[in-house]
Amino acid sequence: FETAIVKHGATVLVAYVDTSAASLGNQKHGISISRSTDHGKKFSKIISASGGSSLPNTTDGDKADPVLLVNKSTGHFFLLCNRFPEGPGFQVFRSTDDGATFTLHGSAVHQSNAEMDKPHAAIDNYSGTGNGNLYAAGVQVGTASGAPTRGIWFSRSTNGGSTWGTPLLLGNARDPGAPAGIVTEVFAPWVVVGPDHSVYVFWLDTSLGSVDDNPNARYYI
């Protein structure tokens, strides 16, 4: 579940959460990737969270919510995902060989004591100033002492994802201490780049009701 897809030339990548990994007791890898090099006619599983060729072994692992991007100028693919467990930023992996392999490349929307969830990202593939910039957003759901303000946070990379700027708070939860999923929450950001290099971030505002407890509540973008 939680699928992501991206295409560049004849190559198509599909990333997803591999539930079989959890059933095997895997506590560091949760994401698998399948790849096609013939426009999606045939796929092979090149990265398997349940064993074999997984994403690189890192201290923070790869858990869920994969996001796939491609820089159309360089052909580099990017994968952003949650840490395992959620932590102070999102894992950023990069492939420079047409999606065949990935290496750890950075940490997006990173801040101390944060528990970041629901990553989304976009890359500026339009010609001119800003081409190649990466933009990412997520929701800070942690409530531990010293955690940043609950809400939607955003960050930018101007060097291909190697480093990211200081995260910006775009929209904070009206009740910063409320558990995720209940009244007054903001959730699930979505990042888009326009042809004039403008960056847009949308998110779900459930301020008039609970996602989990009130199916008749009003939700806003």
* Distance set, CA 96 to CA 70, 103, 105, 150, 151 (Å): 10, 9, 11, 35, 33
Q: What are the tens digits of pLDDT across the range 149-203?
A: 888 999 999 999 999 999 999 988 766 555 554 445 788 899 999 999 999 999 9
Sorted by sequence, the CB contacts under 8 Å of residue 210 that are 6+ apart come out as 181, 182, 183, 217
pTM above 0.85, yes or no: yes
Sorted by sequence, the CB contacts under 8 Å of residue 56 that are 6+ apart come out as 93, 102, 103, 104
Nearest to 221 by CA among 199, 200, 206: 206
Nearest to 204 by CA among 146, 139, 158, 149: 139
Coil, helix or strand for 3? coil
What's the pLDDT at 1?
86
Average pLDDT per 10 consecutive residues for the chain, totaling 221 residues:
96 93 72 97 93 84 94 97 89 96 95 92 97 96 84 95 95 64 71 98 75 59 84
What's the pLDDT at 183?
45
